[in-house]
Amino acid sequence: MEDIEIAGQLFRGCAEDLTRLQQRLRDGETGEVKDAVKLARELRSATQLMLEERNKVEKLRKEAAGAVGDGVFDLDAARDEIGRRLACLRRAGGG
């Protein structure tokens, strides 16, 4: 399972716990205020972790997409390709 999925599950679990505690507080059960504060902190930490991991994954994807080939531009091959295409155009009557 990917880190992002794990962080997402943690986030959802903390959010559900916080929602339940919020309802208890509304019902007048004030004994769990410390638990609510703790869960809120955990939820914030899980959210931050999830966003950081997502940013790392996106950065790696962008780096991988930019690293296609060996990074060297082959001018001789480009010149040959241009010449081949111009020859095709001339044969087709375009120049």
**C-alpha 58: how far from chain center:** 4
Q: What is the dihedral of CA 82, 88, 94, 95, to 10 degrees?
A: 60
Average pLDDT of the residues in 49-78: 75
Q: Cα(57)–Cα(22) distance, rounded to whole angstroms?
A: 34
For the chain, give the mean pLDDT.
76
Task: Compute the C-alpha angle 86/88/94, nearest 5°.
Answer: 75
Domain that holds residue 19: 3-91
Smallest CA-to-CA distance from 39 within 4, 7, 5, 10 is with: 10
Query: How many domains in the chain?
Result: 1
The pTM assigned to this predicted structure is 0.42
- The model's confidence at residue 39, banded by pLDDT at 50, 70 and 90, is confident
Average pLDDT of the residues in 33-47: 75
